[in-house]
Amino acid sequence: MNEPVLHLHKGDLPEGLSFPLGVAIDTETMGLNLHRDRLCVVQLSAGDGHAHIVQIVNGQDAPVLRELLANPAILKIMHFGRFDIASLYRWLGVMAQPVYCTKIASKLTRTSSPSHSLKTLCNDLLGIQLSKEQQTSDWGVPELSPEQVRYAANDVLFLHALKDHLDGLLAREGRTELATRCFSFLPTRAVLDIMGWDEPDLFSH
């Protein structure tokens, strides 16, 4: 496997990037509280071995990134999209859609597995070992470390390949349409989370 090419951007994506097969997206925040913990980093990949790491600057609009997120012709591929969609909507004011969530696809197909984490999926389906050492590092620092940039990139570099594997499993098990309906609901689920129906869950007993 070729060494990935990493691009670090401050404030916004550059113009002119192309995502013909959809864009893999992940986020890094100061924590897991959508109202309190600000969005710090958005990482993206076209599935071509390149990863674009966008360090979000407080108060900056990021118009190129916002336009990409809102583009209905470009599929957004995420892992645990529920949180990323909500974070992007909360802090950038744009609803990312249409979406595909590899975590949901895994839960619908790999029902014998006790774990559906990105690390587990990359290991089980692609034979790739991911390091999670930087998962709880400080993403609000003025300058990201090389280790943080590599960690952020790994969260999107393999999502296209995972989607290809999971699409095959969904089709084999006759659950493609069910998955599509789950993906379509994610933006609504994200809004419910932002409005306070995350805990207790609106759908709980």
Query: Which residue has better confidence, 174 or 135?
Result: 174
Quick one: CA dihedral 112, 161, 26, 181, positive or negative? negative
pLDDT at 133 over 80: no
Predicted confidence (pLDDT) per residue in 20-78, tens digit: 999 999 999 999 999 999 999 999 999 999 999 999 987 778 999 999 999 999 999 99
Does residue 204 form part of some domain? no
Question: In which domain, by residue range, is 23 found?
Answer: 5-194
Does residue 205 form part of some domain? no
Does residue 17 form part of some domain? yes
* CA–CA separation, 177 and 90 (whole Å): 29
pLDDT at 201 over 90: no
Does residue 66 form part of some domain? yes
Predicted local confidence at residue 58, as pLDDT: 79
Predicted confidence (pLDDT) per residue in 1-34, tens digit: 689 999 999 999 999 999 999 999 999 999 999 9
Least confident of 115-124, 164-173, 191-200: 191-200
The number of distinct structural domains making up the chain is: 1
pLDDT at 88 over 70: yes
Tokens of 175: 């659950």
pTM, two decimals, is 0.95
Does residue 203 form part of some domain? no
Predicted local confidence at residue 113, as pLDDT: 95
* CA–CA separation, 53 and 27 (whole Å): 10
Quick one: CA dihedral 175, 177, 180, 182, positive or negative? negative
Share of the chain above pLDDT 70, in %: 98
Split at pLDDT 50, 70, 90, the class of 90 is: very high
Contact between 148 and 139 under an 8 Å Cβ cutoff? The reply is yes
Q: In this structure, are strands 39-45 and 23-29 parallel, antiparallel, or unpaired?
A: antiparallel
What are residue 148's DSSP bridge partners? none
What are residue 23's DSSP bridge partners? 76
Does residue 199 form part of some domain? no
* CA–CA separation, 55 and 97 (whole Å): 21
Predicted confidence (pLDDT) per residue in 91-118, tens digit: 999 999 999 999 999 999 999 999 999 9
Does residue 23 form part of some domain? yes
* CA–CA separation, 102 and 58 (whole Å): 29
Is residue 82 packed enough to be buried (19+ CB in 10 Å), middle (13-18) or exposed (0-12)?
A: buried
What lies within 8 Å, CB to CB, of 171 at 6+ separation is none
Residue 11 belongs to a domain with what CATH number? Answer: 3.30.420.10
* CA–CA separation, 113 and 194 (whole Å): 30
